[in-house]
A = this chain, B = another copy of it.
């Protein structure tokens, strides 16, 4: 059966306190097994994960880094506040969040929000996905899988793509270690980051500035089995180690 990919149109500008699952359910007739990708920005706005730039007092590190990145020190402070470990300070801040996600400017964003305000990523992105999933189940009775997405640059290639920062009702990785290929060989490529593949295409459908389409439904997608260990440990992560070493040098 073909997969259908449906952009959720007509959502209002999301405000703090809005019931995001209810607003989405008003516009989508969900079916069991659907995958809903929702932009972290609208989840954060509904939950009030935003900050007033005017209320932020930058510390010494923020002032020092901001001089290098040519950004507002208060913005840099918000990035540092969202970060557990900074891997790179310049030409842009690359940091690890408490969730394990490594991203540019810790996902702090001043697009798609009023002047002087910042959107930060949901501090518990896995909980955010589960929250949307249970909200939809409460309203519709349907068993929907949910991915919370962010837009992020990547190594070696220009341009941002959508990635998953939280997911519920599925595993991040489709793990087929031990399976065989078309010729009966045990597969070498054994772990596919399916949540990121779906988040990527969701971001394509959301489009520039999310064009008022901050949620995308995927219908007739397969199920899979695997695990959620999408983030390397620091010991496993060769590129992180190289960046940390360079930072010290």
Residues in chain A within 8 A of chain B (CB atoms)? 2-6, 13, 88, 91, 102, 109-115, 151, 154-163, 172-174, 176, 179-183, 185, 187-189, 191-194, 196-198, 200-201, 203-205, 207-210, 212, 221-222, 229-232, 236-240, 242-243, 245-246
Contacts and interface: CB of A to CB of B under 8 A. Distances in A.
12 contacts: A88-B238, A111-B189, A156-B239, A160-B192, A161-B193, A187-B208, A192-B203, A197-B200, A198-B201, A204-B221, A239-B239, A242-B243
A13 B176 CA distance: 21
Copy count, this protein chain: 2
Contacts of A221: 204
Q: Is the interface of A mostly helix, strand, loop or mixed?
A: mixed
Given A111-B185, A112-B183, A242-B239, A160 B191 contact: yes
Contacts of A156: 102, 155, 231-232, 237, 239-240
A88 B237 CA distance: 13
Contacts of A114: 183
Contacts of A245: 242, 246
A177 to B, nearest CB: 10
Contacts of A172: 159
Contacts of A111: 181, 183, 185, 187-189
Given A158-B230, A158-B236, 6 more contacts: A3-B4, A154-B193, A159-B194, A176-B209, A179-B209, A197-B203
Contacts of A3: 4-6, 205
Of the listed residues A110, A113, A182, the one surrounded by the most CB atoms of chain B closer than 10 A to its CB is: A182
A196 B230 contact: no
B196 A200 contact: yes
A233 B157 CA distance: 10
Contact of A2 (B5, B13, B209): B5
Given A242-B243, A243-B242, A193 B115 contact: no
Greatest chain B CB density within 10 A among A151, A155, A204, A232 is at A204
A192 B159 contact: yes
Given A5-B5, A114-B183, A187-B111, A158 B204 contact: no
Contacts of A115: 183, 185
